Amino acid sequence: MEEDVAFLDSLFEEFSLEKPREVAKAVKSEKRALRYQKVAERRKRRRVEEHQRRRERQKEARGTETEEKPGLEMKRLSVCIDLGFCSAMNSKERGKLIRQLGRVWGLQKRYPGLSTTLVNIDEDFVTDGERIVSGFRSFAWKTTTQRLEDMQSTSAIVYLSPDAEMEPLMFVEDDEMYVIGGLVDESGRGSMSREKAEDLGVKCRRLPIPEYMTKASRGTFNVMLTINQVVEILCRLAVSGNWIDALGPVVPEVGAESSYTHEMRASEDDDFFTAHMVSRRNRLDTHAVEKTELSLERARSSKAELEHVVDIGVTKKRKSGLDAINELIDPVWNFNDDVLLDMMTERVIYEDESVVALDKPYQMAYSGTKPGQAQLDRLLTRLAQRVAPECQKLYVVRTLDKHCTGVVLFAKNLERHAQLREAYEDGRVEQKYHCLVKGVPVEEKATISIPLVKLIKGKDMHLEPVRNPKTALNVYNVITKYEIINSSASNCSLIGATVSKDISHQIRAHLSHGAGCPLIGDNKYNLKNRKLPPKVSPTAMAKLDLAPQQFRRLPMFMHLNQLLIPRGGVNSKYILIRAPVPHAFYYVLKKLSLLKK
């Protein structure tokens, strides 16, 4: 390259007298290109050398770490992951299962004595695994199409389950095979591994977490673990032979005041809702509900809200912002009718000889939904067999909007149904709602009596104030009474709204048009922008840890908390039915400092 530069210099001297400007410019360009090429080659050579030195340092570090890491020598451990539950999972759950198996493969490389076998694996699962986890197909899994009972003597098979009623697993034996149910279950359907073990006639055991991890300074420990966590615990036990050493680094601690595992109990001297919280760890019981008098403890004995419910475990990760709100809402849009039936059976909040009251979850419509979405009337026949086997059918008295939660009332016979419908039309039924709104009304307590008219466009319906009562048709002269329960510096208020003779959307329209306070999450009655829900204040956004545009996706917070119905005729006594505030509603109120003092 230096010879080329010298040649160009001589060439420049030869022609400099004839065409000095043109030749000088060309020669300088050539020199510049040659110098750049020389610098680029030198840089490339240095990068290659640096990469080689880095790889050597990494190899030395790995070698040192392997030499210094103690305890990897372990006795033989045979683990089998049963993938026969894949048909019960949706694509999202299968994806999470595949990622957990990827971590199990990492454990197999760390613990030489671990032997992992996948049972009932199919080609579709392998294809999904390759798409989600790079190199999944090349993992040296032991796979088999044999049944579990054919692989080993049933006396040597131990099926692991998180069920508390199972006996604890105290020792790991070389000649036993430990089976983990390959199931990620976000719907809370409960443990299937115990049922599978009973069908196979094999032993079923749980990890001894309560026996060894209950003496912590605070909180409890999660008995629901991911598949890779269970495998790691077994490997650690095979290395150390000590359950505390095996469980301690793996089992996550659950704080005693964890908001998503709390149960709200009603108090007679507090007609709003209770702030008394009880820490609980329970799972959904999918069988019949005991028929008793009004019990608000039973009313909210729903399944614990968990992010990743795995048949043998779950790790509950704390979330923030919109994710923290959404994880406290039962995803009814993902549930099939069987799961919805079990859930609504658990949501019976009142029952007597003539009526049944349910606590309707968010986003469950009574009727008119698309196929596959949560719809209450499809469940009524089967629900009646569960909660009121003495009657053939439940007759709905009054429904709630899809976005509202709270009390839905059913009659057990036509006579009581007609009686209650008449009471509604006469205004003898009192309904008390809790509403989270933007802004603070001018009046602390007021009555809104703005006449309303329905405007229908296609399938969309909304209410508008009557502009000209003389020419308007089908005018609704309805009344909404409200009072401010609490307000905060975040420019949000918790409103208690009471109606008797009402129409659909009445409270939403009255609070927006009459009090100037639209419901948070309501994109139909936001007067400033009809296409978007009201934007909350920066203070509220910060308290809820929301991203700038996440206010658009907030749920609507409107809950029918209390229903007062006549027990019989016109002059009869009244029955008070209450529904506890949903967990997501409570969480938001707590974040916004709107809980009743």
Are residues 479 and 353 located together in one domain of the fold? yes
Say if 268 falls within a structural domain.
Answer: no
Q: Determine contact, residues 108/205, Cβ cutoff 8 Å.
A: no
Say if 299 falls within a structural domain.
Answer: no
pLDDT of residue 66: 42
The total of structural domains in the chain comes to 3
| Residue after which a domain boundary falls, among 50, 68, 86 | 68
Other CB atoms within 10 Å distance of the CB of residue 51: 10
Among 72, 61, 66, 136, CA closest to 103: 136
Burial of 575 (0-12, 13-18, 19+ CB in 10 A): middle
Indicate the pLDDT class of residue 309, thresholds 50, 70 and 90: very low
Say if 285 falls within a structural domain.
Answer: no
pLDDT of residue 157: 87
Q: In 248-375, where does DSSP find H-type helix?
A: 296-299, 321-326, 337-346
pLDDT of residue 304: 35
Dump pLDDT digits (tens) for 498-528. 999 889 999 999 999 999 999 999 989 988 8
Token duo for residue 487: 């307000």
Q: Who wins on pLDDT, 87 or 404?
A: 404
Q: How far is the C-alpha of 592 from the C-alpha of 541, rounded, in Å?
A: 9
Are residues 62 and 166 located together in one domain of the fold? no
Vertex 174, ends 171 and 176: CA angle to 5°? 75
Query: What interhelical angle do 91-110 and 227-240 show, nearest 10?
Result: 20
Q: How far is the C-alpha of 243 from the C-alpha of 133, rounded, in Å?
A: 31
Task: Give the three-state DSSP class for 178.
Answer: strand
Contacts of 56 (CB under 8 A, 6+ apart): none
- What does pLDDT average to over the chain? 77
Are residues 129 and 33 located together in one domain of the fold? no
> In percent, how much of the chain has pLDDT > 90?
22
Say if 294 falls within a structural domain.
Answer: no
Say if 277 falls within a structural domain.
Answer: no
Are residues 95 and 129 located together in one domain of the fold? yes
| Residue after which a domain boundary falls, among 68, 93, 116 | 68
Are residues 233 and 125 located together in one domain of the fold? yes
Are residues 382 and 459 located together in one domain of the fold? yes
Query: Domain containing 140 — which CATH number?
Result: 3.40.1280.30
Are residues 419 and 525 located together in one domain of the fold? yes
Are residues 156 and 216 located together in one domain of the fold? yes
CA distances from 486 to 130, 200, 220, 437, 441 (A): 53, 57, 33, 11, 11
Are residues 500 and 569 located together in one domain of the fold? yes
Q: Who wins on pLDDT, 383 or 289?
A: 383
Query: Domain containing 488 — which CATH number?
Result: 3.30.2350.10
Sheet holding 460-465, edge to edge: 460-465, 452-457, 475-476
Indicate the pLDDT class of residue 223, thresholds 50, 70 and 90: low
Are residues 103 and 245 located together in one domain of the fold? yes
Q: Is the pLDDT of residue 284 over 60?
A: no
Of the CA atoms within 13 Å of residue 449, those in its CB half-sphere come to 3
Q: Is the pLDDT of residue 70 over 50?
A: no
Are residues 355 and 470 located together in one domain of the fold? yes
Say if 265 falls within a structural domain.
Answer: no
| Mean pLDDT lowest among 14-23, 68-77, 398-407, 577-586 | 14-23
pTM for the whole structure: 0.50
| Residue after which a domain boundary falls, among 254, 275, 306 | 254
Dump pLDDT digits (tens) for 555-564. 999 999 999 9
Q: How far is the C-alpha of 491 from the C-alpha of 493, rounded, in Å?
A: 7
Say if 139 falls within a structural domain.
Answer: yes
pLDDT of residue 532: 86
The domain of 38 spans 2-68
Are residues 91 and 38 located together in one domain of the fold? no
Say if 420 falls within a structural domain.
Answer: yes
